[in-house]
Amino acid sequence: MHHRVVVVILMLSLGIGAAWGSGFEIPEVGSRAMSVAVAFTGLADDPSAVWFNPAGITFLKGHQSTVGFTAISVPGTKFTGTNSGSLTAEVSEEAKDDIFMPVHMYFVSDLGMEKLRLGLGINSPFGLAKRWPAGSTFASDVMVMGLSPLFVNPNIAYQVMPCMSVAAGFTFARANVSLMKAPYNYYVDLDGNPTQFEGDKLFTLDMEGSGTGMGFNGALMGRLMEEKLGIGVSYRSEIEIDFEGDASFANISRGTLPYDANGDGTPDAFLPVSRMLFGSETPISNAMDEGSTTLTLPATLKLGVSYKVMPSLTLTADYDITMWSSYDTLSVVFDTFTALNKPQAKDWEDTQAIRVGALYKFAPWLELGAGFLTDKNPIPDSTIGAELPDTDRTGITLGATIGQGPSSLSIGFLHLMMDDRDVDNLVMPSAATGGSASYQTGTFENSATLFGVTLSHAF
């Protein structure tokens, strides 16, 4: 299957959770870069350049390494309004709080050569987590969702002239995904009297999968005006991760669903859920299957500039483009239960972010950083849902690097201020939807705080 999709199903769609850049990108994979709002493409002067602009590693000497983590604290998303689980009754829902800590490691070596450098990056620049309570009216869309990719990114960089370097590399990505949800259908009949539907939870789905993918990257770095001015360009290709996994279906409804054999909108029969969705001639409570899908991680293009205003002060700025338009459809293919194979349009849009920052050398052993960012979200009003209620955001950053000599410690702090997201795309149950409802009408509220720590050492 080669659909451009991100995990899962329609009437039973698998969702994705809150993230920290637009969509589910996590740009903050280096604490010193985080301190300047990740406006680092035109500076790239420490080992994290392997990720932010690998052409910058040609200006590093000897063998250098960093290791660290970014702690992401996400207070529970809040929603007020009506949704697929409440229909006309207004509800107030709050997702569970989440904290997770993706790690990052970077290594650079000059191999004793003047112009050639090798670099290796290991990080998690994408990821997500979302947990709505089991009794939530959003349980039909998502109860628990997690995506945890790991990237391994070797690079080679070459200084083509004293003021300019180029770099190229490839990325191997491996990711795990998990999902739990309990889709509800309003046209389920439970008492044998199909003139009035009681409605019921179709089943509880618990799914886990893993997959791998490959991508490439290229970069350019210029240091001009006696290295006061830095200009950088970094491109990373999209990565398609082919997932395969196991799906467990429990608590399968004992009710019946209307079956329209002719497609004329009039039910010709009422068939058990076990037969309609799982092809079983006898009632079943549990079932197992295998499924596959493809998650497309978007291509990115980053343009950056830095300028050393004075020996102690450097200003930086980045313009980032994330090509989320590659995510236009969401689908899954189950091997056996093909009645569940329902694609869903997503139609995400490319986004732009503007980042500015400043680094100030307060003392030989202390560098201070600050930054500001503004970032657009990629999700159109028509397809936004509880799995990822993304919104436009602004952020402020602070940080410091402490140390003198071969070792240093960098810390970074980012607080994201997210706009409230007003939505009005609730789809009521009908014959056209097969009795399912989707989306919501109301307001989502989000926020997030990130804290990073990175230890660097030169050998």
Closest by alpha carbon to 416, among 104, 1, 37, 15? 37
Q: How confident is the model at residue 21 (pLDDT cuts 50, 70, 90)?
A: low
For the ranges 14-23, 42-51, 277-286, 313-322, the lowest mean pLDDT is seen at: 14-23
Query: What is the structure's pLDDT at 15?
Result: 35
Please give the structure tokens belonging to residue 138.
Answer: 């959003």
Span 29-38, pLDDT tens digits: 999 999 999 9
The predicted-structure confidence for 133-147, as pLDDT tens digits, reads as follows: 878 888 888 888 888
H-run or E-run covering 279? none
Q: Are 14 and 344 in contact (CB under 8 A)?
A: no
Q: Answer yes or no: are the C-beta atoms of 165 and 157 closer than 8 Å.
A: yes
Of 273, 278, 286, which Cα lies nearest the Cα of 185? Answer: 273
- pLDDT per position as a tens digit, 74-120: 767 899 999 988 988 999 988 888 788 899 999 999 999 999 999 99
Q: Please give the domain boundaries of the chain with CATH numbers for all domains.
A: 31-458 (2.40.160.60)
Tell me the HSE value of 32 on the side-chain side, using a 13 A CA sphere: 29
AA letter at 429: P
pLDDT at 145: 83
Q: What is d(CA 178, CA 145) in angstroms, rounded to the nearest whole number?
A: 6
Global confidence as pTM = 0.90
Of 15, 179, 92, nearest in space to 445 by CA: 92
pLDDT over threshold 90, residue 61: yes
DSSP character at residue 20:
S
Look up residue 288 and give its two tokens.
Answer: 């197992």
